[in-house]
Amino acid sequence: MSSRVLMKGNEVIAEAAIRAGCRHYFGYPITPQTEIMNYMARRMKDVDGTMVQAESEIAAINMVYGAAAAGARVMTTSSSPGISLKQEGFSYIAGAELPAVVVNIVRCGPGLGGILPAQGDYFQATKGGGHGDYKNIVLAPASVQELYELTVEAFNLADKYRMLVMILGDGTLGQMMEPVSYRDAEQIETVEKPWHVCGTKDKRQHRTVQSIYIDPDDLEALNDKLQAKYRTVEKQDTMVEMIGCEDAEIIITAFGTSSRISRNVLRLADDLGIKVGMIRPITLWPFPSEAIMEAAAADSVKSFLDIELNAGQMLEDVRLAVNGRKPVHFLGRTGGNLPTQKEIIEKIRTIAGR
C-alpha cells in the first residue's frame, strides 16, 4: 500500500477504474458526479484509453453496451435522474449478459429533485428499474478508501459473472475528500471472453451478442440461466460488515453514508448504557438477509433500527429478513438532509425506553 493521499471520492472512483484496467468510459455531465468524467478526460489520455462525452445518458449506457460486447472493461457514471435514463440499457446488458460497471452518485429526488446527497435510489438499484427479470450486483461503499476497493472489485465481479455491477454512492461520498491509499499494483482478474465480438478473422463462426429470443423456450432457458447465476452470486459474493452485534440490544441497519454517521453513535449509546450494534450491508444486492435473520433470532436483540437517507427503502428488505420476529424501527431523512448523531441517539433512547 502506498502512503495516504487526500482525494475526492469521485476522483478516486475514476482512478480506481483505471487501475482496474478500465480503458473505456462513456458519460454525460450531471452533479454531483461530474468530477469522475473530468478526471477520465484527463487520465485516459495517459493510458491510451477513451473517454467519450455522450449526447445523453441513454447514449452513454448504449456505448457501454457496445464496448462491453467488444470485450472491454468499461464504465459509465451518473447521478439519479441520469441513472433513470440508463435503465433501458441496464436491462439489455442483463439480457445479453455483458460485464459493465455503473456508478450512481445518488442525489435527492423525485424528479429533478436536488443535488444534495440521498439514498432514494435503493429500490431502483436493487429491485430492477428496467424491464424484465434481472438483477444487478449493487455495492455500497461507506468511505473514500472503500470507493477505491469496491470499484476495483466491481470490475472483477462484472467479469466473473458477466453482469452489471453498480456502485451506489451518494453526493457525500462523491464530493468529500478523505485519505486513500492505493495498492502498488492491482490484482486484475482477467477472464476469457469467448463470447465477445472482435471479428471472425475468417477462422470461426460469427458471434452474436443479443438480448432478444423470440422462441419462448429459448427465452425461458436464458431466464433460468440468469436466475441460477443470481443464486450463485448470492451464495458466493454477499458482503456485510457486522459491528458489535454480539449481545447488542438494538441493531442498527444502515449502508453507505448513513452507516458512517451511525457508526459513531454506537460508542455514544454505549456511554448511555445501551448496547447498540450495526449490520452494514456492503452488497445491497445480494442482500445479506442471513446475517439479519441470525441477529433477529438472538435473544439479546430486542429490536432493529433502520437508518437511511430516504423514506424507508432498505427497510423493506430488513423487515423481510427479520420476518416479524422483532420490531423494526426507522429513522430517515430526505431532501438532502443527513440525520445527526443527536437525532439517532434520541431515537435509540426512545426505543430503549431510557
Partner 1 sequence: MKKVFARTRGLTDKPFHYCPGCTHGIIHRLIAEVMCEMDILGETIGVSPVGCTYNNYEYFACDMVQAAHGRAPAVATGIKRVHPDQPVFTYQGDGDLAAIGTAEIIHAAARGEKITAFFANNAIYGMTSGQMAPTTLLGQVTTTSPFGRDAAVEGYPINVSEMLATIRGAVYIERVAVNNFKEISKAKKAIAKAFRVQQQKLGFSMVEILSTCPTNWGKDPVASLRWLEDEMMAQYPLGVFRGGDLEV
Partner 2 sequence: MTDFSIIIAGFGGQGILSAGIIVATAALFEGREVSWFPSYGPEMRGGTANCSVVISDQVIGSPVINDTDVLIALTGPSMKKFARHVKSGGLIIIDSSLVKDVPERDDILFFPIPASKIASEMGNMTFAAITLLGCLGAHTESYQRESFEKALYEALPQRHHHLIPEEMKAYDQGAAFQEVVLTPEAIKAVTCKTVR
> What does the binding site for partner 1 look like in residue numbers (CB under 8 A)?
24, 26, 50, 52, 54-56, 58-60, 62-72, 74, 88-89, 92, 96, 197-203, 206-212, 214
Q: Which is nearer to partner 1, 208 or 300 (CB)?
A: 208
Positions in 37-76 near partner 2 (CB under 8 A): none
Q: Which is nearer to partner 2, 66 or 336 (CB)?
A: 336
Q: Cα separation of 316 and 335, whole Å?
A: 20
Binding site partner of 4, from partner 2, partner 1, none, Cβ cut-off 5-8 A by kind: partner 2
Using CB under 8 A as the binding rule, whether residue 211 contacts partner 2 is answered as: no
CB of 132 to partner 2, least distance (A): 36
Binds partner 2 by CB under 8 A, chosen from 54, 59, 176, 239 = 176
Q: Which is nearer to partner 2, 6 or 228 (CB)?
A: 6
Site stretch for partner 2 (CB under 8 A), options 48-56, 152-160, 184-192, 334-342: 334-342
Q: Which is nearer to partner 2, 70 or 243 (CB)?
A: 243
DSSP 110-143: STT--SSB--TTHHHHHS-SSSSS---EEE---S
Rounded to 10 degrees, the C-alpha dihedral 266/270/276/280 comes to 20
- One-letter amino acid identity for 309? L
* Cell 457514471 found at: 77
Using CB under 8 A as the binding rule, whether residue 32 contacts partner 2 is answered as: yes
Strand partners of residue 25: 51, 75
- How many C-beta atoms lie closer than 10 Å to residue 131's C-beta? 13
CB of 9 to partner 2, least distance (A): 10
Using CB under 8 A as the binding rule, whether residue 260 contacts partner 2 is answered as: yes
- How many C-beta atoms lie closer than 10 Å to residue 85's C-beta? 17
Q: Which is nearer to partner 2, 162 or 263 (CB)?
A: 263
Cis peptide before 141 (omega within 30 of 0): no
Which of 69, 66, 71, 70 minimizes the C-alpha distance to 54? 66
